[in-house]
């Protein structure tokens, strides 16, 4: 099953790196949607079918925490698995995010092997 | 900068450059990198939370293109890499700053990082950054780079 993925990060470089790393890791990728912040991401989710979301935390307009909270408040969106990709190394923040429904956390920088394992553990693909 | 912070900055920057862009950096004595020519770029960001402070990265414009190309898996003269220069060095600083803070403060500390901003760096400001006791010099692809970390609250000074 190919996964339709949404990558949310204000850095176009990071979005490209995540997309390329998923492909290098052999993750079955279908359509890759991109958004520069949480608000843009919610607009994508309102009209596209997405199987898995990767999101940064530190973004303008709507940051990753607010985005995750908006997703978890929606009956439709809260079932979509969310993986946070961030430089944030705080164990406290990771636990807070998991309590809000985040399924996994990837600390930057990451390897294709790590990303593959996290995707496999999260969605079983 | 105290030796613990300096050690963390040196180690983490070299690791991040290698892991993100597959480029090897070496620490450099400041008198080896004081001769500047061409355009330089400075990327800066701040952090708050457990500690408050700033991190700045200064490097020559051509090196930004190399870093962007390597991060994206493109050739340095690729148009996409050229357009992503500023974005790529912002991300390099963002990753470096986050990892330096985790190295120094541990995983229990919580920080908020600002969005990095870039600006062209006049030669006089390169000299000022070079002379700062809080900056560390590197050579990257035979080009100079400077990374400066300031931590300006008492908790940071005490722990770091």
Summarize pLDDT for B75-117 with one digit per residue, the tens.
988 999 999 999 999 999 999 999 999 999 999 999 999 999 9
DSSP string spanning B116-138?
PEEEEE-HHHHHHHHH-TTEEEE
Q: What is the DSSP letter of B30?
A: G
Residue of B nearest to A24 (CA): B73
Q: What is the DSSP letter of B114?
A: P
Contacts of B141 (CB under 8 A, 6+ apart): B23, B63, B66
- For residue B112, the cross-strand partners are B48
Helix, strand or coil for residue A124? coil
Do A6 and A82 meet the contact criterion of CB atoms below 8 Å apart? no
The reply to whether B95 touches chain A by the CB within 8 Å rule is: yes
CA B133, B137, B142 angle in degrees (round to 5)? 165
The reply to whether B76 touches chain A by the CB within 8 Å rule is: no
Measured in angstroms, the CA of A50 and the nearest CA of chain B are apart by: 24
Q: Within its chain, how far is the Cα of A104 from the centroid?
A: 9
Q: What is the DSSP letter of A55?
A: E
Residue of B nearest to A96 (CA): B110
A67 pLDDT higher than 50:
yes
B36 pLDDT higher than 90:
no
Q: In chain B, what residues touch A11 (CB-CB under 8 Å)?
A: 87, 90-91, 94
| Rama region for B158: left / alpha / beta (φ>0; ψ in -120 to 50; rest) | alpha
B23 pLDDT higher than 50:
yes
Helix, strand or coil for residue A83? strand
Measured in angstroms, the CA of B13 and the nearest CA of chain A are apart by: 12
Q: In chain B, what residues touch A23 (CB-CB under 8 Å)?
A: none
Question: Do the chains contact at A88 and B88, CB–CB below 8 Å?
Answer: no
Question: Do the chains contact at B108 and A92, CB–CB below 8 Å?
Answer: yes
User: How many A/B residue pairs have CB atoms within 8 Å?
Assistant: 62
Helix, strand or coil for residue A108? coil
Look at residue A61 in the predicted model and tell me its pLDDT: 94
Look at residue B123 in the predicted model and tell me its pLDDT: 83
pTM exceeds 0.90:
yes
Look at residue B70 in the predicted model and tell me its pLDDT: 95
**Tokens, residue B110:** 């919580």
Backbone angles phi, psi at B107, to 5 degrees: -85, -5
- State percent of chain B over pLDDT 90: 78
B159 pLDDT higher than 80:
no
A55 against B2, higher pLDDT? A55
In a mutational test of the B interface, the residue from A109, A112, A115 whose CB has the highest number of chain B CBs within 10 Å is: A109
- State percent of chain A over pLDDT 90: 90
B137 against B32, higher pLDDT? B137
Backbone angles phi, psi at A61, to 5 degrees: 70, -70
Neighbours of B7 (CB within 10 A): 14
Residue of A nearest to B110 (CA): A90
Residue of B nearest to A65 (CA): B112
């Amino acid at each position: 099953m190919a996964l339709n993925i949404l990558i949310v990060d204000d850095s176009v470089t990071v979005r490209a790196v995540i997309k390329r790393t998923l492909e290098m890791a052999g993750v079955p990728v279908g359509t890759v949607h991109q958004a520069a912040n949480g608000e843009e991401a919610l607009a994508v989710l309102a009209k596209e079918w997405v199987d898995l979301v990767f999101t940064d935390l530190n973004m303008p307009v709507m940051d990753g925490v607010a985005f995750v909270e908006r997703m978890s408040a929606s009956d439709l969106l809260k079932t979509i698995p969310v993986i946070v990709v961030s430089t944030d190394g705080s164990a406290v923040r990771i636990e807070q995010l998991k309590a809000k429904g985040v399924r996994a956390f990837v600390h930057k920088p990451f390897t294709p092997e790590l990303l593959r394992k996290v995707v496999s553990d999260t969605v079983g693909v | 900068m105290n030796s613990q912070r300096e050690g963390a900055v040196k180690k983490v920057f070299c690791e991040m450059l290698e892991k993100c862009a597959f480029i090897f950096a070496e620490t450099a004595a400041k008198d080896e990198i004081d001769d500047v020519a061409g355009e330089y770029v400075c990327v800066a960001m701040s952090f708050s939370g457990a500690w408050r402070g700033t991190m700045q990265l200064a490097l020559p414009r051509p090196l930004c293109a190399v870093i962007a190309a390597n991060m994206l898996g493109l050739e340095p003269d690729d148009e996409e890499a050229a357009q992503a220069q500023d974005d790529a060095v912002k991300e390099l600083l963002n990753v470096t700053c986050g990892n330096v803070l985790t190295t120094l403060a541990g995983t229990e500390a919580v920080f908020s990082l600002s969005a990095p901003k870039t600006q062209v760096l006049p030669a006089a400001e390169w000299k000022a950054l070079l002379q700062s006791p809080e900056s560390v010099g590197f050579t990257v692809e035979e080009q100079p780079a400077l990374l400066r970390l300031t931590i300006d609250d008492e908790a940071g000074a005490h722990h770091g």
